[in-house]
């Protein structure tokens, strides 16, 4: 460790943590043993940080955030020599809004912005250039790649894969094991660089378990994609589609439309 990190007592006498003298940790925050808080990081009042958490330089943690054991916040991306999406760039520090819940083993990269009261469940990964709206739930083991926008009050369930260059509107639901894609050329030919595009879900769209999406697909507002479907073309707003390839079955019932729920986005 750098010699600028200083040993500090952890919360309630459970051990020691390493705290940079230029980090700011509110007096009411609890920091578990073995955790490392780097230069310029800020931890708000009422935060509870577990054991062996790493908070990288400049990261800003709002008030009353819970961060469980072995989470890594503000990690710098790595650029593989053959990467098509990751860029060498200056990234703004990670921002985590107040009241968030961050599970064990979660990794959130520098350059992400997490709004208030978001939950990132155990072992989720959120890359750089990602924004996540308030009250959204990111489930266990979900991967959110770079250059993704996720709206307010969404739910993305266990092991879903959100590819780079995707956009998810407010109030969307994504069931477990859903896969987005962004490269029709599967890594071959330079032509592919002209067409990289993720998946777009408009407000209130819902996706069933194990659905797979080809690159560039748009799912219209309040549409529903049935479990196990392979989506090869745009889905009209307010329609249910199913099958491989997915085809329109019928309209989404009025009582299931987002604006007819007893909560709002």
Comparing 13-17, 133-137, 168-172, 185-189, which segment has the lowest mean pLDDT?
13-17
For residues 246 and 232, the answer to whether their CB atoms sit within 8 Å is: yes
Mean pLDDT across the chain: 92
Terminal CA-CA length for the chain: 44
User: Quick check: 86 pLDDT over 70?
Assistant: no
Instruction: Give the CATH fold of the 137-265 domain.
Output: UDP N-Acetylglucosamine Acyltransferase; domain 1 (2.160.10)
Tell me the C-alpha distance between 80 and 78, whole Å: 6
Tell me the C-alpha distance between 43 and 47, whole Å: 7
User: Quick check: 258 pLDDT over 90?
Assistant: yes
Q: CB-based contacts of 101: which residues, under 8 Å, 6+ apart?
A: 65, 66, 118, 119, 120
Neighbours of 153 (CB within 10 A): 18
Comparing 25-39, 177-191, 245-259, which segment has the lowest mean pLDDT?
177-191
**pLDDT at 1 (0 to 100):** 42
Tens-place pLDDT, residues 45-70? 999 999 999 999 999 999 999 999 99
**pLDDT at 7 (0 to 100):** 65
Q: Do domains 1-76+93-128 and 137-265 have the same CATH topology?
A: yes
For residues 59 and 94, the answer to whether their CB atoms sit within 8 Å is: yes
Pairing of strands 72-75, 60-61: unpaired
User: Quick check: 9 pLDDT over 90?
Assistant: no
Average the pLDDT over 219-236 and give the result: 98
Average the pLDDT over 197-213 and give the result: 98
**pLDDT at 10 (0 to 100):** 56
Where are the chain's structural domains?
1-76+93-128, 137-265
Tens-place pLDDT, residues 114-166? 999 999 999 999 999 999 999 999 999 999 999 999 999 999 999 999 999 99
Average the pLDDT over 169-173 and give the result: 98
Residue 47, classed as helix, strand or coil, is: coil
Tell me the C-alpha distance between 195 and 211, whole Å: 22
Question: How many Cα atoms occupy the beta-carbon half-sphere of 81 within 13 Å?
Answer: 0
**pLDDT at 168 (0 to 100):** 98
**pLDDT at 172 (0 to 100):** 98
Indicate the CATH number for domain 1-76+93-128.
Answer: 2.160.10.10
Question: How many Cα atoms occupy the beta-carbon half-sphere of 69 within 13 Å?
Answer: 3
For residues 207 and 190, the answer to whether their CB atoms sit within 8 Å is: no
Place of tokens 């020599």: 81
**pLDDT at 162 (0 to 100):** 98
**pLDDT at 2 (0 to 100):** 47
Could you tell me which residue, 81 or 154, shows the higher pLDDT?
154
**pLDDT at 85 (0 to 100):** 59
Comparing 135-139, 181-185, 238-242, which segment has the lowest mean pLDDT?
181-185
Confidence of residue 81 (pLDDT cuts 50, 70, 90): confident
């Amino acid at each position: 460790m750098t010699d600028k990190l200083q040993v500090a007592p952890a919360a309630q006498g459970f051990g020691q943590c390493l705290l940079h003298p230029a980090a700011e940790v509110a007096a009411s925050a609890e920091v578990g043993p073995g955790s490392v808080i780097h230069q310029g990081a800020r931890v708000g009042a009422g935060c509870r940080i577990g054991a062996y958490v790493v908070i990288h330089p400049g990261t800003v943690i709002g008030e009353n955030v819970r961060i469980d054991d072995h989470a890594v916040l503000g990690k710098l991306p790595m650029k593989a020599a053959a990467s098509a999406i990751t860029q060498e760039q200056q990234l703004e520090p990670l921002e985590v809004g107040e009241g968030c819940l961050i599970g064990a083993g979660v990794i959130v990269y520098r350059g992400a912005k997490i709004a208030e009261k978001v939950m990132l469940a155990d072992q989720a990964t959120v890359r750089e250039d990602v924004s996540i709206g308030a009250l959204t739930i990111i489930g266990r083991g979900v991967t959110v790649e770079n250059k993704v926008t996720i709206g307010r009050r969404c739910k993305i369930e266990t092991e879903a894969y959100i590819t780079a260059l995707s956009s998810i509107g407010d109030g969307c639901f994504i069931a477990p094991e859903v896969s987005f894609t962004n490269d029709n050329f599967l890594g071959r030919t330079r032509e592919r660089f002209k067409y990289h595009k993720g998946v777009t879900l408009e407000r209130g769209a819902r996706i069933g378990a194990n659905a797979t999406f080809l690159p560039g697909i748009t799912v219209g507002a309040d549409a529903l994609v049935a479990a196990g479907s392979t989506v090869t073309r745009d889905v009209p707003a307010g329609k249910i589609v199913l099958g491989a390839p997915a085809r329109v079955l019928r309209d989404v019932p009025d009582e299931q439309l987002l604006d007819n729920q007893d909560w709002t986005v």
